[in-house]
Amino acid sequence: GGGGGGGGRGEEGGEEDLSDSEDSVFSGLEDSGSDSEEEEEEEGGGGGGGREEFCEVLCAVQDIRNTVGNVPMEWYRDFPHLGYDLDGRKIYKPIRSQDELDHFLDKMENPDYWRTVHDKQTGSDITLSEEQVALVRRLQSGRFGDVDFNEYQPTVEYFSRDVMLHPVTNRPADKRSFIPSLIEKEKVSKLVHAIKMGWIKPRRVEDDSRGRYYDLWASEDSSILARHKMHLPAPKIPLPGHQESYNPPPEFLFNEEERALWEQQDAADRKLPFVPRKFSSLRSVPAFPRFVHERFERCLDLYLCPRQRKMRVNVDPEDLIPKLPKPRDLQPFPTTQSLVYRGHSGLIRSISVSPTGQWLASGSDDGSVRFWEVCSSRCLKTVQVGGAVRSVTWNPNTAVCLLAVALDSRVLLLSPSLADRQVVSASELLLSDKEGAEPVQGAESLVTWSEAEGEELNEGIRLKIQHPKAVHQVAWHAKGDYLASVMPDHSSHLQVLIHQVSRRRSQNPFRRNKGLVQRVSFHPLRPYFFVATQRSVRIYNLLKQEMTKKLQANAKWISSMAVHPGGDHVICGSYDCRLSWFDLDLSTKPYRMLRHHKKAVRGVAYHRFYPLFASASDDGSVIVCHGTVYNDLLQNPLIVPVKVLRGHAVSQDLGVLDVTFHPSQPWVFSSGADATIRLYT
Amino acid sequence: MGGLQKKKFERGSATNYITRNKARKKLQLSLPDFRRLCILKGIYPHEPKHKKKVNKGSTAPRTFYLLKDIRFLLHEPIVGKFRDYKVFVRKLRKAYGKSEWTSVERLRENKPTYKLDHIIKERYPTFIDALRDIDDALCMCFLFSTFARTGKCHVQTIQLCRRLTVEWMNYIITSRALRKVFLSIKGIYYQVEVMGQLITWLVPYQFAHDHPTDVDYRVMATFTELYTTLLGFVNFRLYHSLNLVYPPKLDGKAEAELKEEDEEGYAMNSESYSEKLSALGGSLARVVSAGEEEEAEVDQFPVEGEDMEKMEAREKEQKELEAQKRLFEGLKVFLNREVPRESLAFILRCFGAEVSWDKSVCIGSTFDVTDETITHQIVDRPNAEKQYINRYYIQPQWVYDCVNAKILLPVQDYFLGVTLPPHLSPFVEEKEGDYIPPEKLKIMALKRGEKSAQEEEEEEEEEEEGEGEEEEEDEDEDAEEDEDEEEEDVAEEMNLKKMEKQRSQGKSLSVKVTPGKVKAENPARLEQEEKAEEKRLAIMMMKKKEKYLYDKIMFGKKRKIREANKLAAKRKAHDDAEKVAKKKKAKKQ
């Protein structure tokens, strides 16, 4: 505003600091905030009279003009002076002893307070005259400072569109306007040269074919580019569902729970990329904030996303289920539980059915061997053997009636006399016959054969074979003369022993054993011997004394093994829930792995006549499967699970521990950790 | 043992693929140029079957292109244009630096340009191919045509997009190809059938976009460049297939009508014609002014048995389609100023209605509000101040629902101030076992010509409130029945298992003798039991791979059922709550 003011008052010119003071006036006025209504009236009247006063004030001020220039005045804050006057003398700050109260009183009492401004440069207070106030007012309202200046006076047009008679200047044309320009020539020759050299191309004719459309597919040739064979068209954007509607049915809206879940989830995991919303009318629907984003993401997908042809499996799940013969056509097999044999107090580790099928022997952890009649579930006899029984096995020979019992490090041979007299006497004879026979030297050091005496004799125990280590299993040869016992031990080469009962002779058939022997079994017909270690089953030819086969069970730890009565098939149960069926003629790998059980398989068994096998597991179930073996070597065995038998209670994570078939009927016995034996018929 | 040792990764799939960086180096292009080229030529990365083999044994995440694709790019003439452009930019910068304004001007005039016609032809060898891929093009062009003419992209692009989309919509109107529409929270979906291809696109609502900062508009602009070219050629072909003039011209009659009203001058003369076109009011000029369209009758071929049924079904469908095309014929609709004019005019004209709007809203209105022959007025405000007695005042959703239902729905649900029925997506096709919202059932019943049972009951209920509650749920139960059956199966199986367990666990041998009960053996039940067990046993014998697949399928099925049940339960809870609220209200009164 200062410049305008200065221009308007030419006669008072030469006062540079006037503008400064005006500035401060300006700010001072604003601060005071006084009402200006009364003053406006005075403005007109006091205009003429105030001029002399104004001059006087200026003269008074002139002497103490400050020469420091345009520097911030706070630089002089710590000095007693404010700067220097025209003669170079210090201008001292006026002594100001006014405090707030004085200020206030001044404000209240002094009628000119509102037009008093503080000049920072000289430190003095200046009271503005009427003239000055009027000037300030005018400038504030954006008018000229000079009252007399007429801003709307008519303009004088010096140059108009009319052609005048006389020129503005009468200077003759220059000579250079008649001579061809050298500079231009130079420029032209440069351009000509550039055009000649092809550096500059002539202006291109505007090609309007761009943006013009025509029938592009007028001549459709069906020759498909080779590239199109590999072309994978981008999938279309999925079409919207009900939940995307602006007014969806109420069930598609989120409730609080779903909404919280949606907010928690990562953007990639969300099922819907938006929250369904409901609007009462179309006019209240806002713009979708992510619209451009979604379009952009689609663009990115189109050119950045790797594509791959995925074959979608479109199968009926029913077609996946293999078509098996109906279990009804494969009867007979056990279907229902018919008898429960109770009496043991500990878990029953082993059961065995006599070859006649009339008696059932069971060995339990409570230290007893019990004999049951199969048909009536009556316990006929209990023999306390003094130790947890690991294994019981009937002698398969029908001519004798003998039971082998394994407990601790002993193998007991019992003659339970549960047959007609002839058989009993035959078995007694078998045991007592070789009393005088000389024991063979080699095995003497390993085991000791001793006869039972006294009480034990009355209970039916006839022979005791003392082993060096704990015996886990005993197995009879089909003829009933040989007996194999298993003593699992990692370090030793003495894990399997074969005993000949009639001659009371024992021998260690293997020079060394690899792995921990789990089970052994004799081939039912030929002189073969099966040894199951943790991972594999070895088959030895006893006559040639060599290993003929090694079956890889593909299991971590074999728990049980059974040999098919035909001798060409073996099943192995393992602690990792599997049951593997080996076809010895086919391969050393399992022909079929069955993962029917949920927990460790504890026992497996074949039926002697019927094409049945069963597996018992810790999940408390016995699964009976039909397993037909064909004489035709080209036809693979047919395995069909036919029945899941449940009944045993699971205690301490142990379910069914042993399973065995009745020798002649399609019945299956199972013994469990709940101290019962169950018969399913 | 002769011969050279085979080296790894020098044959087979490792040689068929190339990483992106290598491809870029081979083409000698910068990344933006390479990107542009890929977009224009439609080259995309492929996911190799054996990633590790292709990646030369490394498992680092890389994108692979087919080597053949990249070789194919080598011969692309447009690559040369890219290089020219680079040179042009360099020269221009230099000229600017030297302040050589004449050369700047000269360079500007010679700015290299390129055409994409050959690329379109190459990417889409037949017209049908182009139609199949036009969804994205339409979406993009409709989006770009709504952009403000500031900043984000060239004004020419926006104008071109607008022009092409208007042309497209005019074609759809003329060919009456619209099939489905859907008001979603994102925008409005349209589905049309052009030459047997279903084409869907999405148009945003008419609002200014707040442009996100994390979107690369250069990519979008490149796509748009391609899409506008494609859409232009497609439009040309489509117009010619209907004997229409391209670029579109208004029919002589329509033009004359518009002329006289065009007094105020909505826009400059140069723009007014395109504005008139985009008003979607008049019909288009034809090359051969055929009076009546002659429909090609489908010849009847003698067919037998199964084909016969199919044929009949097809015929029926055809009839339905014809009926749908004439859905709004005879209606005279006036659009209030608060409704989305373009969308409604487009839809209504597609099905043969006469449409107009307020003169001040847009150019090309044909009749006024005061016209007595107006049958429907579409209003989206709580109440209309002045109502004519001989027309329906309805909310815009009615139009959309009618199109989807393919019949004229009763208008009373859509009157002013009435709570609208839910707007359902026409794109959902419910299969067996899926959840079907009751509103859809209602519409289906309406289509079959019955007055829906539910509605009747509701009427009854109004008379004798409080009784008919259970009846009303019948309908819902019908829908749920399928789901229930499945559930029952599961439940049954559980029951069976339990029973078996009880039977086999014959532990409870109490000494007490109780009089035996004759158990009525249900033979059907037994058979079912047997079947279930058989299935279970068969499932046990499945191979590992198949079992996995089977389990997956079954899991998916169960999840679907669960979701459907959840929706049904939610709906039921909602309805119950509403009923209670209604009753309370009634009591208060």
pLDDT reported for residue A192: 93
- Among A326-330, A529-533, B240-244, whose mean pLDDT is lowest? A326-330
Tens-digit pLDDT profile for residues A221-275: 656 555 567 788 899 999 999 999 999 999 899 989 999 999 999 988 888 889 9
Per-residue tokens: A317:
């799940």
User: In the structure, what pLDDT confidence band is assigned to residue B169 with cuts at 50, 70 and 90?
Assistant: very high
pLDDT reported for residue B294: 46
The residue count of chain A comes to: 681
Chain B residue numbers touching A303 (CB-CB < 8 A): 35, 38-39, 43-44, 219
Asked if A640 and A625 count as a contact pair (C-beta separation under 8 A), the reply is: yes
Task: Give yes or no for A314 touching B (CB within 8 A).
Answer: no
Chain B residue numbers touching A244 (CB-CB < 8 A): 182, 184-186, 425
pLDDT above 60 for A218: yes
pLDDT above 60 for A547: yes
Identify the helix (H) or strand (E) that includes residue B500: helix B469-504
Q: How far is CA B272 from CA A166, B125, B176, in A?
A: 51, 37, 25
Alpha-carbon distance of A352 to B154, in angstroms, equals: 93
Tens-digit pLDDT profile for residues A459-475: 888 888 888 888 999 99
- Any residues with CB less than 8 A from the CB of B368 and at least 6 apart, and which? B356, B359
pLDDT above 50 for B566: yes
Size of interface A-B (CB pairs under 8 A): 288
Percent with pLDDT over 90 in chain A = 26
How far does A473 lie from chain B, in Å, by closest CA? 30
Task: List the domain boundaries for chain A.
Answer: 332-435+445-680
How much is the average pLDDT of A288-300? 93
Highest-pLDDT range among A466-470, A507-511, B53-57, B95-99: B95-99
Tens-digit pLDDT profile for residues B379-420: 988 887 788 888 899 999 999 999 999 888 898 889 988 889
How much is the average pLDDT of B98-110? 89
Percent with pLDDT over 90 in chain B = 37
pLDDT reported for residue A33: 39
pLDDT reported for residue B268: 53
SS3 assignment, position B357 = strand
Asked if A597 and A575 count as a contact pair (C-beta separation under 8 A), the reply is: no
Put simply, the answer to whether B425 touches A245 (Cβ < 8 Å) is: yes
User: In the structure, what pLDDT confidence band is assigned to residue B497 with cuts at 50, 70 and 90?
Assistant: low
Alpha-carbon distance of B285 to B274, in angstroms, equals: 14
Buried b (16+ CB within 10 A) or exposed e, B288-307: eeeeeeeeeeeeeeeeeeee
Q: Pairing relation of β-strands B197-204 and A558-563?
A: unpaired
- Among B33-47, B247-261, B534-548, whose mean pLDDT is lowest? B247-261
Alpha-carbon distance of B70 to A641, in angstroms, equals: 57
Put simply, the answer to whether B395 touches A340 (Cβ < 8 Å) is: no
pLDDT reported for residue A151: 84
SS3 assignment, position A617 = strand
Chain A residue numbers touching B240 (CB-CB < 8 A): 215
What is the phi/psi pair of residue B176, to 5°?
A: 50, 55
pLDDT above 70 for B245: yes
- Among A414-418, A615-619, B252-256, B565-569, whose mean pLDDT is lowest? B252-256
pLDDT reported for residue A36: 38
- Among A632-646, B42-56, B163-177, whose mean pLDDT is lowest? A632-646
How many Å separate Cα A115 from the centre of its chain? Answer: 79
In eight-state DSSP terms, residue A580 is E
N-term to C-term CA, chain B: 103
How far does A253 lie from chain B, in Å, by closest CA? 10
How far does B4 lie from chain A, in Å, by closest CA? 33
pLDDT reported for residue A573: 93
Residue A192, Cβ density class (10 Å: 0-12 exposed, 13-18 middle, ≥19 buried): exposed
Tens-digit pLDDT profile for residues A102-152: 888 888 888 888 888 888 777 778 889 999 999 999 999 988 888 888 888
pLDDT reported for residue A209: 64
pLDDT reported for residue B585: 86
Put simply, the answer to whether B185 touches A285 (Cβ < 8 Å) is: yes
pLDDT reported for residue B222: 94
Residue of chain B minimizing CA distance to A676? B507
pLDDT above 50 for A22: no
Put simply, the answer to whether B113 touches A293 (Cβ < 8 Å) is: no
Tens-digit pLDDT profile for residues B440-469: 888 888 888 765 444 444 444 444 444 444
| Pick among 2.60.120.10, 3.40.50.880, 2.160.10.10, 2.130.10.10: CATH of A332-435+445-680 | 2.130.10.10
Residue of chain B minimizing CA distance to A648? B505
Task: Give yes or no for A55 touching B (CB within 8 A).
Answer: no
SS3 assignment, position A325 = coil
User: In the structure, what pLDDT confidence band is assigned to residue A52 with cuts at 50, 70 and 90?
Assistant: very low
Residue of A232, A274, A292, A341 to mutate, interface with B, max B Cβ within 10 Å: A292
How much is the average pLDDT of B7-25? 89
**Up-side HSE of residue A525: CA atoms within 13 Å toward CB?**
7
pLDDT reported for residue B43: 92
Residue of B71, B94, B120, B184 to mutate, interface with A, max A Cβ within 10 Å: B184
Of B117, B506, B540, the CB nearest to A596: B540
How far does B425 lie from chain A, in Å, by closest CA? 5
How far does A530 lie from chain B, in Å, by closest CA? 27
Higher pLDDT, B320 or A306: A306
Closest CA to A653 of A602, A594, A593: A602
Chain A residue numbers touching B219 (CB-CB < 8 A): 296, 299-300, 303
- The CB density around residue B357, as the number of other CB atoms within 10 Å, is 26
Tens-digit pLDDT profile for residues A357-415: 888 999 998 889 999 998 888 888 888 888 889 999 998 888 888 889 998 888 888 88
How much is the average pLDDT of B528-552? 87
Percent with pLDDT over 70 in chain A = 86
Higher pLDDT, A544 or B251: A544
pLDDT reported for residue A42: 39
Interface ipTM > 0.90: no
User: In the structure, what pLDDT confidence band is assigned to residue B490 with cuts at 50, 70 and 90?
Assistant: low
- Any residues with CB less than 8 A from the CB of A666 and at least 6 apart, and which? A332, A333, A334, A607, A610, A612, A681
**Up-side HSE of residue A250: CA atoms within 13 Å toward CB?**
13
Of B204, B223, B396, the CB nearest to A282: B396
pTM value? 0.68
User: In the structure, what pLDDT confidence band is assigned to residue A5 with cuts at 50, 70 and 90?
Assistant: very low
